[in-house]
């Protein structure tokens, strides 16, 4: 098996040296090839499978360097299905990172980490960054009970105001100067009693409505505060162009 030693790839791959780099290596670090798959403990492949996997890998690297990430992903996926080499999972995670497909990147890295790779600590660090950078899921509207409290409070206040207005109208009727000097009739007595009851109801509804409105408003205010606080704590993801080495710093290419 003919092999050649190249710089290994960390989570963001280290650039090749000038003696080893192809022409595309002069591109920005974002286009640096991902890890070269390493054999070891994998299923035996037929010569045809080896050739096909090698072709998929080389095509994937070429597409990755050209920033054609959908094509690179397809090639690495095809190579992984043939070989089940763990480093293809790493390559797929790196492609997913470039595509900003965080869920896919996290899934591939967890599968890769399950194979106990040499760069496990770096992978765990990246997974931690992904977890911390995930947006906090908040509904567009405040909690339904809080909105219900506010609605009930407003409704109670409106009814209370209406009752207060009716009570005032009854009191004005009883105190009408036109009734001055006249006997206090049963109708006036009933009007007076109704006005007193309406006034009591108005006071009770105003108290209940005000309390419900205050409680619902405080609940919504606390929800908005927590949402804003969580958004402020959300860390800014580290630039994906940070360069480190993978494992022992070397990888093998050639026949699988």
The CATH number covering residue 22 comes to 1.25.40.10
Which is nearest to 88 in space by CA: 38, 131, 163? 38
Task: Tell me, yes or no, whether 7 and 129 share the same domain.
Answer: yes
pLDDT in tens, 211-244: 999 998 999 998 888 878 766 665 554 444 333 3
Task: Tell me, yes or no, whether 113 and 201 share the same domain.
Answer: no
Number of domains present in the structure of the chain: 2
Task: Tell me, yes or no, whether 96 and 71 share the same domain.
Answer: yes
Task: Tell me, yes or no, whether 16 and 127 share the same domain.
Answer: yes
pTM of the model: 0.47
Task: Tell me, yes or no, whether 21 and 91 share the same domain.
Answer: yes
Buried/exposed 152-183: b ≥16 CB within 10 Å, e otherwise: bbeebbebbeebbebbeebbebeeeeeeeeee
Task: Tell me, yes or no, whether 124 and 162 share the same domain.
Answer: no
Task: Tell me, yes or no, whether 120 and 85 share the same domain.
Answer: yes
Task: Tell me, yes or no, whether 217 and 149 share the same domain.
Answer: yes
pLDDT of 256 over the 50 cut: no
Which is nearest to 204 in space by CA: 169, 247, 159? 159
CA–CA separation, 214 vs 143, rounded Å?
Answer: 15
Task: Tell me, yes or no, whether 126 and 86 share the same domain.
Answer: yes
Residue 8 belongs to what domain range? 3-135+238-254
pLDDT in tens, 147-184: 999 999 899 999 989 998 998 888 888 777 776 666 77
């Amino acid at each position: 098996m003919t092999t050649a030693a190249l710089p290994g790839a960390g989570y963001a791959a280290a650039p090749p040296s000038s003696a080893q780099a192809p022409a595309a290596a002069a591109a920005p670090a974002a286009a640096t090839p991902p890890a070269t798959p390493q054999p070891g403990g994998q299923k035996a492949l037929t010569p045809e499978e080896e050739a096909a996997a090698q072709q998929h890998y080389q095509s994937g690297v070429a597409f990755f360097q050209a920033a054609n990430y959908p094509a690179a992903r397809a090639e690495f996926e095809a190579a992984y299905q043939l070989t089940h080499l763990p480093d293809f999972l790493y390559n797929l995670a790196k492609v997913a990172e470039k595509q900003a497909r965080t869920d896919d990147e996290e899934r591939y890295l967890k599968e890769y980490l399950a194979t106990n790779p040499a760069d496990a600590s770096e992978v765990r660090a990246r997974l931690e960054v992904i977890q911390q950078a995930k947006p906090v899921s908040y509904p567009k509207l405040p909690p339904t009970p809080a909105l219900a409290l506010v609605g009930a409070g407003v409704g109670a206040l409106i009814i209370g105001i209406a009752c207060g207005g009716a009570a005032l109208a009854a009191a004005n009727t009883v105190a009408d100067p036109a009734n001055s000097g006249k006997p206090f009739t049963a109708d006036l007595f009933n009007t007076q009693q109704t006005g007193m009851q309406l006034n009591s109801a108005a006071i009770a509804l105003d108290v209940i409505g005000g309390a419900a409105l205050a409680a619902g408003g405080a609940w919504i205010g606390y929800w908005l505060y927590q949402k804003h606080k969580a958004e402020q704590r959300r860390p800014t993801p580290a630039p994906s162009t940070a360069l480190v080495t993978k494992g022992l710093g070397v990888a093998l290419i050639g026949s699988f």
